[in-house]
Structure 1
């Protein structure tokens, strides 16, 4: 058996990109499984709307901490060991979640799941961007990020197509076992992209200097705002869409179908957004995307016909997840090699702060008597604000985010 160091460079690159995609699939499964399982586990565990909101937000709390810590640690010891350890951590925690017996146990286990998930994706982004030609970084990372949607599609299909419907504990069991099976392959075949010459150098740079020094303050803050607002909308869609569709009077099978369509739309959106950003720069494609996003959210809040809801769910996935996945491709361009893990991890952590807010806001609104349509309508101004922050980021980051921009090296 050949390890990554014994393979030709082209083979190493291809296997590394494939493994990054596979990890994204597993992360997407474990991140979205609670949203798909929510109607069933809410009944079995007797959760109130506010409690299910906190259960949704629990993994995001851990993810915010894990993203910042994982990115920083990877700048010190290398991407590969941190990534493999994080995959083992979120697999074990998801497996344990299948035995949750009440709200408190579910909350703790989802926080632990989030810690592992948080340390995973910033390093997937960094590794993929560092093995890819500079002019194709955005589309490569955006395409790998499609794995998050594929994982969501898989868990939605399993819940919908399993004979008699799959028990929510079974979904968590599968989501826990698969990462543990994949971890050894990551250890043997994944390429370490953090060069020995710079490994540890980024960790010697104070975190404040890495994020806010050398004219980085403006781009860092705008990147955080765009991530936070986009992920707030994303968390609302992924976690609450099945519940909101059921609240409109449709059966659970239809709710799962909208989640499936949402994820399919995101695959098309991420690839197209990544291509457009690499070809024309981030400014115009992303700004138009956020404007269209606001329109789709407004129409989604008004829709009552299932066919129209499915069309709008596709475009919501195309625009919201497409924008988020394109941001994953843009973030590595903002920071130099030696602090890329720290910068990307901090951006993902900032995004998760927004993502934590989404389920909590929705849970509080619904608990106070708001309708699902009113929750969706909240996303209209958020999309517009994200678009404004993106324009500011494109202006501040300059050539780094223009067509074929190489980033900072």
Structure 2
């Protein structure tokens, strides 16, 4: 028998068509996530009118959707570490697609809110599972870039939700957005069943003699020679078929990294939710800038986020993560301050807004990419999922500050100065993470006689 180290083999590969196929499928999963998560917020007034309610009644929808997203982030990824990334991605996509189509048939706000809460359970698991699967099939030299492209798909999905709101809602009603949002994951599930391989690292960590591993390796490298007597081991060197447990993300020297990552995600994702929910209102109520005028510039901010995501991916493969990611968050803190100082009419305001999106989206992408290195295959989805779940909690709590700032009649500069402390703290937290994510030399697989 010979020992075959799967990740060493994958890291030594050149990018092939199958890598780009996996990238395309995972990017589509992320696109659907971005589209559906932000769709409700973009068309909330139309939904409320269509169901005979005032826009304020949508509060229940947002609350239950966030609860569902948090539950899904905690529950679905550990199941992917137990039953497989592909299997759970397909199951979540099917369930979410059906529930989204059902949501279009709701007749009351309460019905709609309950369905969106259930949908969120299946929606939030897609991101950590897709990123885990992509990371486990990507050569190390391209991993950061591949993951950043997938996150760009998430941003593009959010922008596409705005396009759907602009082009479809007036002509076909609010339901049309959910028809599209329901059909896409169903099509994605079909494509995944036919064209997406299971993670080889996951299979090796569960059963080193799994017969599904060799055919996938041959698809990754058609010229590979396998004798049929290999014992396949994952990146952590484990050759025991063990079920992943939640406490594993705190073991093996990862306790401090996990605790710090959770705090960083609470603040990072909470800041994103806070700014997304309140920034236009801050400018209207504190600076007299109409929401419509701010929205025009905010749409252009998408391009800053796209460049930030792709740039983070390129740099991540070249610079130590524990130094690169803090630089993004320190830059984000600076740009939040600049938004409060630069006059809205000044040409540089758009530049500050683009830079704000650049650092915000790129920083969160860096955090998620770092986690793919900290957590081995046997617990990767769990690690990403629970960190994301903690971030969802931050997304529920931190936006409460927006209402407090308005009720307390804070100035725009005071409000944004307080908020700028959040990404500054994230940057300092990342500096405290043990260097478990430092890149290791890429080596070719060297089977060793057992």
TM-score by length of 2: 0.77
Once residues 313 and 79 of structure 2 are traced to their aligned partners in structure 1, the CA distance between those partners, rounded to angstroms, is 28
Q: Is the 8 A contact 1:70 1:82 kept in 2?
A: yes
Q: Is the 8 A contact 2:73 2:386 kept in 1?
A: yes
1:142 aligned counterpart, secondary structure: helix
1:198 aligned counterpart, secondary structure: helix
Q: For 2:425, which of 364, 367, 385 is the aligned residue?
A: 385
Matched, 1:261 2:300: yes
> 1:260 Cα deviation (Å)?
2.3
Q: Is the 8 A contact 2:48 2:109 kept in 1?
A: no
Matched, 1:207 2:246: yes
Q: Is the 8 A contact 1:93 1:176 kept in 2?
A: yes
Instruction: Please give the residue correspondences for 1:37-76 in structure 2 after superposition, counting only pairs within 5 Å.
Output: 37-41=43-47, 45-48=53-56, 52=58, 55-76=61-82
CA deviation vs aligned residue, 1:171-227 (integer Å, no higher than 9, x gap): 23322222223221111111111543423867624321x111121100111111222
* CA separation of 1:279 and 1:189: change in aligned 2, threshold 3 A: same
Q: Is the 8 A contact 2:168 2:176 kept in 1?
A: no
Matched, 1:172 2:178: yes
CA deviation vs aligned residue, 1:27-78 (integer Å, no higher than 9, x gap): 1011111222245446663243xx6566434333222221222211111111
* CA separation of 1:314 and 1:121: change in aligned 2, threshold 3 A: same
1:279 aligned counterpart, secondary structure: coil
CA deviation vs aligned residue, 1:340-370 (integer Å, no higher than 9, x gap): 1221222222222212224444356556766
Instruction: Please give the residue correspondences for 1:195-344 in structure 2 after superposition, counting only pairs within 5 Å.
Output: 195-199=202-206, 204-208=243-247, 210-244=248-282, 247=285, 253-302=292-341, 305=344, 309-344=349-384
Once residues 42 and 308 of structure 1 are traced to their aligned partners in structure 2, the CA distance between those partners, rounded to angstroms, is 37
Q: Is the 8 A contact 2:405 2:415 kept in 1?
A: yes
> 1:118 Cα deviation (Å)?
1.7
Q: For 1:347, which of 387, 394, 402 is the aligned residue?
A: 387
Once residues 362 and 166 of structure 1 are traced to their aligned partners in structure 2, the CA distance between those partners, rounded to angstroms, is 34
* CA separation of 1:120 and 1:128: change in aligned 2, threshold 3 A: same
Name whichever structure is richer in helix by fraction: 1
> 1:141 Cα deviation (Å)?
0.9
1:29 aligned counterpart, secondary structure: helix
Q: Is the 8 A contact 2:61 2:109 kept in 1?
A: yes
* CA separation of 1:202 and 1:386: change in aligned 2, threshold 3 A: farther
Once residues 19 and 262 of structure 1 are traced to their aligned partners in structure 2, the CA distance between those partners, rounded to angstroms, is 26
Once residues 271 and 101 of structure 2 are traced to their aligned partners in structure 1, the CA distance between those partners, rounded to angstroms, is 27
Once residues 166 and 314 of structure 1 are traced to their aligned partners in structure 2, the CA distance between those partners, rounded to angstroms, is 33
Q: Is the 8 A contact 1:278 1:404 kept in 2?
A: no
Gaps of 5+ in 1: 1-8
Q: Is the 8 A contact 1:278 1:403 kept in 2?
A: no
Gaps of 5+ in 2: 1-14, 208-239, 444-450
TM-score by length of 1: 0.84
> 1:121 Cα deviation (Å)?
0.9
> 1:286 Cα deviation (Å)?
1.6
Instruction: Please give the residue correspondences for 1:132-171 in structure 2 after superposition, counting only pairs within 5 Å.
Output: 132-160=138-166, 167-171=173-177
Q: Is the 8 A contact 2:205 2:242 kept in 1?
A: no
* CA separation of 1:401 and 1:202: change in aligned 2, threshold 3 A: farther
> 1:79 Cα deviation (Å)?
0.6
Once residues 259 and 94 of structure 1 are traced to their aligned partners in structure 2, the CA distance between those partners, rounded to angstroms, is 27
Once residues 174 and 39 of structure 2 are traced to their aligned partners in structure 1, the CA distance between those partners, rounded to angstroms, is 9
CA deviation vs aligned residue, 1:135-182 (integer Å, no higher than 9, x gap): 332222122111110011112233345696885443233222222232
Q: Is the 8 A contact 2:33 2:124 kept in 1?
A: no
> 1:311 Cα deviation (Å)?
3.1
